[in-house]
Structures are given as C-alpha cells and as structure tokens.
Chains A and B, each alone.
Chain A
Amino acid sequence: MNKRRGRGSVAEVRATTPGGFDLLAPEQILHACMILSVESEDGLDAGLISSIQKSLGCDDEDHGAALEHIEEHRDGGNWGGRRDAVLKRSSDRANEALTNGQLPDSGQVADGISALLGDDDDGEIDPFAELGVEAGVAVSGGASDQGADLLAAFMEDDEEEEEVVDSAGFLTDSSAISGDPDESESELADDLDDSNDTDDSDEPEDEVAEPEPAEEEEEVESTPAVSPLAAYDMLMSTCWVDGILDPAEAKLLARKRDELSISFEDHLSLLRKMLEREE
C-alpha cells in the first residue's frame, strides 16, 4: 500500500486518470479480491491472489497488510455483523476493476474473479431489500407511523455501507464495535497513516471532509417517506406490468403482505387504485 502513503486519508485514495476517470488503488482491489476469496466456499485461493497481486503490481507488503486486516476483522466470516455490506463492497470493487481494465478481462485471473463474484450471487433479488423496506415493521392502517423508520432504511443503505466499510473496502472500527457513524474513519487508514504518513499536510484535508455527514442527513430529511403500503404498491404494479399475474408473483405478493403486515383488504384497495390508474 505504499502508493497510498503520503496522500492522506483513504477517502482520497482513488487515482485520477488523464481522462478524468477515478480509478481504484491497486491495493484496494487486491484487498477486495482477498475478502471475496476468503469468504468463498473453498477459502483463500493463494494462487489466484498471487496472480491478482502480480496483475495489479502490488508488493508483498500490500498483501500482508490486507491479510492482516482481514484476519483482524473477519470475525469468523461475520465481519462484526456486516458481512453483506463487506461482500457487496468487495464485489463492487472487483467488478469495477474488471470493467475499467485494472484487472484483465480474460484469462486465469478474470476466470478466478468471476468465480468469486458468482459465489456471492444467489440469483434471487428481493425488491423490498433493494428498496430497503424492512420486514415486520408495518401495521395496516398505521403505515404512516412506520414511514420514518422505513425512510431511514430506504435512505441509509448507502450511507450505512459507507460507514461500515470504508472506501478502501475495509471494515471500520465503529461498525464492528460501536456502530457510531461519527467514528467512521478507516482503521486501516489510521494504521497506515499513523505508522507511515510523515506528511502533516494531509490532516487539514481530513478535517475539511468531516462536515459531509451533516449535509447528507439534511438530504435524507428532505426526501419523502416510503411507507410499506407505498412500497407494496410499487411491487404490485411491477408484478402487473405485463397485465398478467402468475403464481410466482402471487406468492411473492402474499409473502410481502405477511412480512409487512399488510392485510388482504389493503391489498384489494391498492389493487383497485391501480386498476383506476390503468384506465
């Protein structure tokens, strides 16, 4: 990770190409691939990681630092309760590296990474999970009371991810221990900066970056709430988009009604409104 040292916090690690595109730092990509490999069914593939390391031009120190961080925070695969966020960030980084050419798009390395990415994909997309609507929190007729919580779930996904996994793809201290969003500095960044960074000019940059969470909170407050009924309405409209409901869609809607505590009568009401819109 020598390339990052002396540049300030990991939030500013991404390099900018002459064309203006931000690129991930090689050690970020290596770290992401190592996480995916460690969490794969077969465990860490040393051969594949070595190949990736060579492709990225990372040295053994980068490899060692990433491995050390993984061992410290892996928590038996639980990642302090943030396994999904860690794996998603790692997958995103690996995909991005493949897309922008930082990793080869064919050959052993590409095949190996594709296999790792495949391990993390169960092929099922839960639209409510994508929307961030939490199960079992809605009560029919009292959906508005739940709106704030659901809004928070809807809006904070990305922020939460930012908090629990730093921009280097590392689990932050706050997410693993306290969950306090104000303490979202990367431990790895701290480690690296504390031990290696001799350039004090980076510190003001970190201080300047601190007000950002407050601005994000204001943005969240100004966004309209998504109630369980509204989210269910969206899902139902999606199921009916072709004018046909099939048994699988009916089953999905029934499951979501159950999870969101939406009554069948509410379902009928929403259905009628949808039919009115269709006319």
Chain B
Amino acid sequence: MMEEHTPFWHALELAWCGDGALSLHSVRLLDAMQQMLDLPDSERAAIESRFEATIVSDLTRAGFGCGDQPLAALVGTLTFLDDPAAAEVSRALGKSALLAGLSKERWQASCAWMDQLGLSTPFMEGVWLEGDEAGELARVPAILVPVAREIGLITEE
C-alpha cells in the first residue's frame, strides 16, 4: 500500500501525531488540503480510514491537537502547485533521483507522493529522461522535501 507515502498521509501524521489529538482546526485544514489536491472523497477515505486503523489506534492523547500548526505550514506549501515552474522542478527532481540511485521501493514511494500532487508525469519524465531534458535541481520546494528525503536527495534536517 502506497497511501503512507502520500502528502495527505503526511498531513494526517502532522495533525494527529504531535499530541495524539485532532483539533477542529486541523480538520478544516485537511479539508482545504483535499480541495487543493483535488482529492476525491473515495481516495481520502481510503487513506484516512487506513491511517485511523494503523496509526491513530495506537496513539494516546497528550494534548489539545497542537498538530494544527505544522499542518497549516504544510498546507501553505501547496501554493507551489500554482507555480508555473512546478512541472520543471518535478522533472529536475526525477532526474536527480535517477542520478542518486533509485530503488523500486523509492520509485514507488516517490511516484505516490508526486501523483497526489498531480506532478507524477513530469517527475517520471525526469527519471526516464523523456521529453525536454531536465534542468538541475537548484532548490527543493517545501512540499517536495519529504519525497526528496525519501529518495535520498536530502539526508539532513
């Protein structure tokens, strides 16, 4: 299952795992994120129900839902999707992943992340050196940091 490698799963981790509680503010942020990602209810349902079954069930409440702060920051990074350079950056990320060495697991995980952002096509083009030659990855946008870490491009915090 690749749900745990998606931005929405990451958002759920931020919302829940800080103190084992989910605030209404976090729920609103998750809704906003779903809209920004054009995520169908069925897909969100599959991710969130699995998250509840595997992660939330093992949590213990220790606060009042402080996860809304980092979640708000994550949702803020989704403005990258409106950046005209998003596809080019994704292509460059794919090329960098290939040069760094891409295992099957890393490939699947990174594709799951990029797919939910709607950027899987340029990312895969970059990996397989298709289409226009990808440029160099000058910077990693915040929303792509988790996937860059997953494929080994970022090794430090």
Q: List residues of chain A with CB under 8 Å of any chain B CB.
A: 240, 243-248, 250-251, 254, 263-265, 267-269, 271-272, 275, 278
Closest to B23 in A: A244
Closest to A240 in B: B24
CA distance A245 to B16 in the complex (A): 9
Instruction: Check if B134 is an interface residue, CB within 8 A of chain A.
Output: no
**Most chain A Cβ neighbours within 10 Å, of B21, B64, B65:** B21
CA distance A264 to B58 in the complex (A): 20
CA distance A247 to B42 in the complex (A): 22
Instruction: Check if B103 is an interface residue, CB within 8 A of chain A.
Output: no
Interface string of B102-133 (1 = CB under 8 A from A): 00000000000000000000000000000000
Q: Chain B contacts of A272 at CB under 8 A? A: 31
A247 contacts B59, CB within 8 Å?
yes
Q: Do A247 and B65 contact each other (CB < 8 Å), given the known contacts A240-B24, A254-B52?
A: no
CA distance A265 to B45 in the complex (A): 6
B45 contacts A247, CB within 8 Å?
no
Residue in A245, A250, A263 whose CB lies within 8 Å of B45? A263
**Most chain B Cβ neighbours within 10 Å, of A245, A254, A271, A272:** A245
Q: Do A275 and B31 contact each other (CB < 8 Å), given the known contacts A243-B23, A264-B45?
A: yes
CA distance A269 to B60 in the complex (A): 26
Q: Do A246 and B21 contact each other (CB < 8 Å), given the known contacts A254-B52, A264-B48?
A: yes
Which A-B residue pairs are the 9 nearest by beta carbons?
A: A264-B45, A246-B61, A245-B22, A247-B59, A264-B49, A265-B41, A243-B24, A265-B45, A250-B56
Q: Chain A contacts of B155 at CB under 8 A? A: none
B72 CB to closest chain A CB (Å) equals: 16
Q: Chain A contacts of B59 at CB under 8 A? A: 247
Instruction: Check if B18 is an interface residue, CB within 8 A of chain A.
Output: no
Say whether chain B's binding surface is mostly helix, strand, loop, or mixed. helix
A254 contacts B53, CB within 8 Å?
yes
Q: Do A247 and B56 contact each other (CB < 8 Å), given the known contacts A265-B42, A271-B27, A278-B24?
A: yes
Say whether chain A's binding surface is mostly helix, strand, loop, or mixed. helix
A275 contacts B57, CB within 8 Å?
no
B66 CB to closest chain A CB (Å) equals: 11
Q: Chain A contacts of B53 at CB under 8 A? A: 254
Q: Chain B contacts of A267 at CB under 8 A? A: 45
Q: List residues of chain B with CB under 8 Å of any chain A CB.
A: 20-24, 27-28, 31, 41-42, 44-46, 48-49, 52-53, 56-61, 64-65
B41 contacts A268, CB within 8 Å?
yes
B42 contacts A275, CB within 8 Å?
no
Closest to B48 in A: A264
List, sorted by A's number, 22 A–B pairs whose CB atoms are closer than 8 Å.
Answer: A244-B21, A244-B23, A244-B61, A245-B21, A245-B23, A245-B27, A245-B65, A246-B61, A247-B20, A247-B57, A247-B59, A247-B60, A250-B52, A251-B52, A251-B56, A254-B53, A264-B46, A268-B45, A268-B48, A269-B41, A271-B27, A275-B24
A246 contacts B20, CB within 8 Å?
yes
CA distance A240 to B21 in the complex (A): 11
Closest to B49 in A: A264
Q: Do A247 and B61 contact each other (CB < 8 Å), given the known contacts A254-B53, A264-B49?
A: yes
B52 contacts A244, CB within 8 Å?
no
CA distance A248 to B60 in the complex (A): 8
A72 CB to closest chain B CB (Å) equals: 47
CA distance A246 to B20 in the complex (A): 7
CA distance A240 to B46 in the complex (A): 22
Q: Do A250 and B27 contact each other (CB < 8 Å), given the known contacts A244-B64, A263-B45?
A: no
Closest to B42 in A: A265
Q: Chain B contacts of A278 at CB under 8 A? A: 24
B54 CB to closest chain A CB (Å) equals: 12
CA distance A243 to B45 in the complex (A): 21
CA distance A248 to B45 in the complex (A): 19
CA distance A252 to B48 in the complex (A): 15
